[in-house]
Every structure is written in structure tokens, then in C-alpha cells.
A and B are shown apart, each in its own frame.
Chain A
Amino acid sequence: MTFKTRRTLWKCLWTFILLIFFVISVYPVVWMFFGSLKDTNEFYTNIWGFSTNPSWSNYAKAWNNAALGEKLINNIIVTVGSLLVLIPVNSFASYAIARLKFKGKRWIYMYLLLGIMIPTGVLGIPTFTVALNMGLNNSHLGLILVYAAQSIAMGVFIMRSFFVTLPKALEEAAIVDGCTRFGSFVKIILPLAKAGVVTQVIFNGLTIWNEYFMANIMITSQHLQTLPLAIANFTGQHTTDYPVLFAALSIATLPVIVIYVICQKSFIEGVAAGAVKG
């Protein structure tokens, strides 16, 4: 066998392996959309393919039965609210740790990084207790503050790695222009670390949008439920009407997938950015 044919053979094998994993990764999601467009009968008879008679009625049913509109808004409130808290909080702290000289800096950084050692799973029950004492259970504000706090360790770590790469003389130049230090940070330095902010928005936005464990513990009122809670409950109630359930799943998934497909490059790089530097 010549070198060239051997290489072609390898290439075919590699591509084939990738293709298998690609199909396994994507097909269940495609299948979910297919299923959401079938009626109950076809759902059981035409398992693999696209619907022969696609209808959107399942979506209307899912939307109305599970009050998904309300849950969607709740999810947006909690996700956007958390990002509005955590982006400034993490950016301020990581900027100081990365670029300013002050006593106890190393201790503050190590203290915040402790969060990496304490997994959220372990904190579930006691967070419920603390939030209970503060009257924050069963409220969006409570979830927002908890999510923001849980993002700090990783967030400060990631943002700091972006700030340290900026040129050293930056602050001096900014001060000369007559800005206050905070003003120069917001107007000049933060925009230069835009990639870090984008990373945090994607990384935390995705985590919070999909979060179930803490929401399940903290939220009890139906009208405050986030999407993952609503989907989990809906599943419990509609174990028989699968096409409608699949429509509900599709509604919950579609916004994320659309955003992902549009900006998949920054999505993938954003999530990878923090961990690779480790």
C-alpha cells in the first residue's frame, strides 16, 4: 500500500468515526423537533422520520397547558437579572485583583477561588436555609443573588485572565486623560476586556438558563417557576401525551439552539476559554 492510499484510508476512518458521533449527538435533538410536529398516532408508528402531516397544534397545546409564556418570561428575568448583577461584580473584583496593587490582594483572590472547591450540590440544602432566614426563598431576587454568587469563583478567575493580558501602561494613560480611576476603568479598560465579558455572558447565561437544582429547591409558587421547573412538572403530569411534551421541550430548547447556531464560534470558545488557561 502506498503512503498516499494509506493516508486516504485513515482519513475515511477518521471521518466515519466523527460522523457516527455527530449523528448520535444531533439526531436525538432533531428527533425531538420531528416528534413535536406529529400527532399521537404518527408518533408511535413513524418513529424515525419527519412527519408526513406536520402540525403546530402541539405547540399551542403545550404553550397553553403549561403556561410556558409565563415561564419563559420568568426564565428571561432570572437569567438577565443574574447577568446584570454578576457581570459588574465579577469585573470589578477581577480588575482590582489583576491590575491594582494593594495589601491582602492574594488573600482576597484565594478566598473567592474557594468557591471552586465547594460544589453547588453540597450547598443546596444550606442555601435554602440561609435564603429562608433572609426571606429570599420563592422569589426571583433570591435565585438571582444565589446564581450571581455561584458564578463568582469561576467568573473572577476567567475575567482576571483577560485583564492581566492588557498592556501595563494602560491605567496611566487613562488617568492622564482626566478620568477618575473608576471612570477610566469603565470607559477604557473594561471595553478592552470585552472578550472576557462575552465569555461570562455565554458561560453563565447558559448555566443559569438551564439551572434546575437550586430553582427546584428555592421556588415553590407555580407562577414563579423557571422553564426547567415547568418542563419537569409538565413531564410528571403529561406522561401520555408525548407529542405535546416534545413541543414543550422544543419551546424550551429553541431559543438556546438558535443563539448557539448563530454564534457557535464565540459560544464554543467562550466556554472553553476559562478552563484552558488552567
Chain B
Amino acid sequence: MRIGKRKIDTFPYLMCLPAIILFTIFIILPFFDGLYMSFFKWDGFSEPEFIGLRNYSNSIHDSLFWLSMKHTFIYAILVTVIKNVLAFLLAYILVRKVPFQTLFRTGIYLPVTLSYVVIGVLWSWVYNPTFGLINSFLTMIGKEEWILGWLSDPDIALYSVVVVDVWKWLGYHMVLYLAGMQAISKDYYEAASIDGANGFKQLIHITIPQLNSTIVVNVLMSLTGAFASNYDIVNVMTGGGPANSTEVSLTYIVSNAFRYSNMGKANAMSMILFAFVFVFGFIQLRIMSREDGYDV
């Protein structure tokens, strides 16, 4: 009998249920647990003690935390700009007919498949002062005066790590830009050529505007990536040193949690980091959930 309310169709909900449960337990719950525990003093073993906002005020007055945040910002901005400019350039070249196109694409993409740990160890050796590739190359071309302590000089170490991050992800962003460029209709360029627009004009007036959303997605992905997943590479290559010159927020947070057994402060700092990343994540979410003509 179906009087009044229609029977609710449970099938769609059952299909969504496993994802909702997993996601709630391992993403949403930890997030709120982190927020909650950021108000406690806790070493990871004994009974947590409520201390209000003290973890936050401790973090805010911790000069090392701000130093690590500053490094995170420098790192993120450099990585984002260099990655995107180079990837765009390479895609711009690859999209036309060049010899060995597939070989170049496959090769430049290769580092994307490697783990940060392998890359970190490998590049520590590339940077090795006496036997590393870079310094031995500089000796070979007779530029000994350019030889630097790539990872041992506190003024340079952070930039050396930035180079490795760019190296790893360049191919990834290149492929995204390439896919975007290949999707632009040839008609635009033909029309522009007939109107006498040269290559540079076509780049400014067709390619870049047409790639608008691709550029935004690439920039956001590199920003969030550089802000919140630089732990691996820094930990493997420098461990935050020398003299804290490569300490980024994540390495500092993990040190606080496990080396100094200060879980509460680590959580508070995670939340502060989240507040910074939130903005980029929010824009990315808005773009991704944009209407695509199919009802959501």
C-alpha cells in the first residue's frame, strides 16, 4: 500500500554509504580530533590535560614555528611559479610538431613516477660537494668558482630542495598544460593567422585566455602540494637543517609531535597551517564542483 509518502529508495544511499563511512572515520573525524586535541596538553601517552588556547599562543610565540612558516611560504611560492612557467613553456613547445615528441614527453614525465624518498636520496648525491653530478659538471666546464655547498650552506639549502621539487613535478604540470592546449580549437589560430596575428600575439590572446581554468587548477595544485606535502623531501634531504634553514611547517610539526612529544602543540600548528591552505583548497573545490550541465 502506498498512501501518503512514497517509499524511500535506499539503493543510492547504500551505494554512497561505504565512501561516507570511510571518509568520515579517516578524514573528518581526524580533522575534528586534531582541532579538539589542539586545546589539550598531551604527550601521546598520559592523560590529556585541557589548557584552552595555550597551544595556540605557544605556537604563535614560537619563533621557530614562524621561521618554518616563512620557509613554507618561500618554498610554496617559488615551486609554484617555477613549475608553472617551465611546464607551460614545455607544453607550448611540445604541442607543435617537434621531432621525438613522445620520447621527450615520456622522459620529462619520468620523475613523476618516483617516490620522494628515492628522489631525495638520489638528489642528496647529485648535490654532493665532491662527487656529486653538479659540482663535477661545474669542474668539467671550468667553473669551479660556482661550486657551492648546495645542501650544507644555510643560505642555499632551501632553494636546492625547491629545485628537486620542481624536477619531480615538472612533467606532471607539463602534461596538464599540454592536454589543455590540445583541446583548444585550431579555428582560433587559423582565424588569427588570417588576421595577421603573430605567434606571440596568439599566445597572449588565444592560448592563455583559453587555458584559464587549466592555469588556475595547476597553480592551486602546486600551492596546496607545496604547502602541505613537502615533508617527505625535506625530511629525507636535510631533516630541516642546516641550522633550521630548511625547516618547513610539516617537519616542525612532526618533530613537535614525536621528538618533543607535544601532540597538543603539533595539532595547534596543523590547524594554523590548515587555515592558510584552506583558501586555496576552497577555490579549488569551487572550481571542481562547478555545474557541468549534468544535475548533481
Contact = CB atoms under 8 A, between A and B. Distances in A.
The binding surface of chain A is classed by DSSP as helix
B171 A116 contact: no
A260 B289 CA distance: 31
A193 interface: no
B281 A130 contact: no
B281 A118 contact: yes
Contacts of B23: 111-112, 115, 149, 152-153
Nearest to B281: A117
Interface string B101-139: 001111111111111111001110110000101001000
A88 interface: yes
Given A121-B229, A271-B175, A164 B294 contact: yes
The binding surface of chain B is classed by DSSP as helix
B94 interface: yes
A87 B114 CA distance: 23
Given A93-B19, A95-B15, A123-B27, A232 B136 contact: no
Contacts of A21: 86, 90, 104, 108, 170
Nearest to A21: B108
A93 B213 CA distance: 26
Interface centre among B19, B125, B254, B289 (most CB of A within 10 A): B19
A227 B117 CA distance: 9
Interface stretch (A52-60, A61-69, A100-108): A100-108
A98 B81 CA distance: 35
Interface string B16-40: 1011101101111111011001000
B62 interface: no
7 contacts: A25-B109, A109-B296, A156-B19, A212-B116, A249-B122, A261-B106, A276-B179
Given A29-B110, A268-B175, A96 B15 contact: yes
A139 to B, nearest CB: 14
B85 to A, nearest CB: 13
Interface of B: 9, 11-13, 15-16, 18-20, 22-23, 25-31, 33-34, 37, 86, 89-90, 93-94, 96, 98-100, 103-118, 121-123, 125-126, 131, 133, 136, 167, 170-172, 175-176, 179-180, 183, 213-214, 217-218, 221, 224, 227-232, 235-236, 250, 253-254, 257-258, 263, 266-267, 270-271, 273-274, 277-278, 281-282, 284-285, 287-289, 292, 294, 296
A6 to B, nearest CB: 11
Given A102-B9, A249-B118, A253-B114, A120 B229 contact: yes
A125 B257 contact: yes
Nearest to A105: B296
Interface in A1-60: 11, 14-15, 17-19, 21-22, 24-29, 31-32, 35, 43-44, 47-48
B250 A121 contact: yes
Given A152-B19, A275-B217, 16 more contacts: A15-B100, A18-B94, A29-B111, A92-B15, A96-B15, A109-B289, A116-B281, A119-B277, A121-B250, A122-B34, A123-B30, A126-B270, A129-B30, A182-B11, A212-B115, A271-B112
A29 to B, nearest CB: 6
B219 to A, nearest CB: 12
Contact of A118 (B31, B96, B113, B136): B31
Given A14-B98, A152-B27, A164-B294, A25 B118 contact: no
